[in-house]
Amino acid sequence: MTEDRKIKRNENPLFVLVTGATGQQGGAVARTLLERGHRVRAFTRNADSERAKELKNLGAELFTGNFNDPVSLGLAMEDVDAVFAMGTPFEKGMDTETKQGNAIADAAKIAGIKHLVYTSVGSAHLRTGIPHFESKFKVEEHIRELGIPHTIIRPVYFMENFFAPWILPGLKEGRIATAMPPDRKLAMISFRDIGRFAVHILENREEFLGRAIDIAGDNLTGEESAEILSRITGHEIKYISLTYEDIKAFGEDMITMYKWFNDVGYQINIGELWVKYPHIGWTTFEEWVKRQDWSVLEKEIPQTQS
């Protein structure tokens, strides 16, 4: 299914505060909400950024605030029906991610928010020992302790990571290199699907209250991913299996994650998701690759002096 599915507008619009709205994940949620006819209040630190301006042009209301300011969070939550919350450990670390996630939940409790949707990470409840998984699970636990109406989404490895600085340089050189055997599968999901599933949850509040759901769109080995990329981009991509020693420069968090991928891995039934929620239009990796602009893989032609 390579054709992107159109989204029908909802007849009962919600007013949703979206955190991380200028990022890829929060941005996917905000755009899907707007496409469905909902009102969006986009929480951002910088209303003058290009992504913030793009959301405003699409119809979002911008709210400039700070996660470390309870007053700011409280004001952002005034009059909204629901809150979409997310965090990242890659800006200021895992402890800050947990602190900020807890602060959003606290503000939602005080504001009497009727539905908090929080994105964690796949298998966080399994006590993986991966620092940037554990930081999100701490937020999950805090949300449950507060007793606020909530739903937790646990997405797996992002397909968009193939454009990340730890993978894209290798692709340009014709290789995917990770610390996994070539035949070890890894569950993946696109931001587009996270956005659509989050909005489905927001629109069907009663069905999802108190639940935590792991979501994925595909499950492939490194060799399968390399074959798909080679065939669709027209660039020969080979899979290379690295050792843990090879990735030590990325830190213990990354090593622990890959050890867990190899020894345990995400526990998710993708087929069941496709059957139960077919209207999401789950994206396979091949479909995702076909939708991307891979001109970034073109080799630069060195200039010659005349």
- The pLDDT tens digits of the residues spanning 266-292 come to 989 999 999 999 999 999 999 999 999
Q: Which of 260-264, 270-274, 302-306 has the lowest mean pLDDT?
A: 302-306
222: helix, strand or coil:
helix
Q: pLDDT value at position 294?
A: 95
What homologous superfamily is domain 15-159+188-217+267-283 in, according to CATH?
NAD(P)-binding Rossmann-like Domain (3.40.50.720)
* pLDDT at residue 90 greater than cutoff 70: no
* pLDDT at residue 6 greater than cutoff 80: no
Q: How far is CA 227 from CA 21, 222, 238, 288, in A?
A: 33, 9, 8, 14
Q: Which of 3-12, 17-26, 158-167 has the lowest mean pLDDT?
A: 3-12
Q: Give 273's Cβ-side CA count (13 Å radius).
A: 24
Q: How far is CA 88 from the centre of its chain?
A: 10
| Tens of pLDDT, residues 191-250 | 999 999 999 999 999 999 999 999 999 999 999 999 999 999 999 999 999 999 999 998
* pLDDT at residue 305 greater than cutoff 80: no
Where residue 268 falls (left for φ over 0; alpha for ψ -120 to 50; beta otherwise) is beta
* pLDDT at residue 75 greater than cutoff 60: yes
Q: Which of 9-13, 44-48, 251-255 has the lowest mean pLDDT?
A: 9-13
Which span out of 67-71, 130-134, 286-290 was modeled with the highest average pLDDT?
A: 286-290
Residue 154 CB partners (closer than 8 Å, separation 6+) = 119, 120, 121, 122, 123, 124, 125, 212, 213, 214, 215
- For residue 2, name the pLDDT band (cuts at 50, 70, 90): very low
Q: Which of 4-13, 149-158, 190-199, 292-301 has the lowest mean pLDDT?
A: 4-13
Q: pLDDT value at position 7?
A: 55
Instruction: Locate 132 and state its tokens.
Output: 């940037």
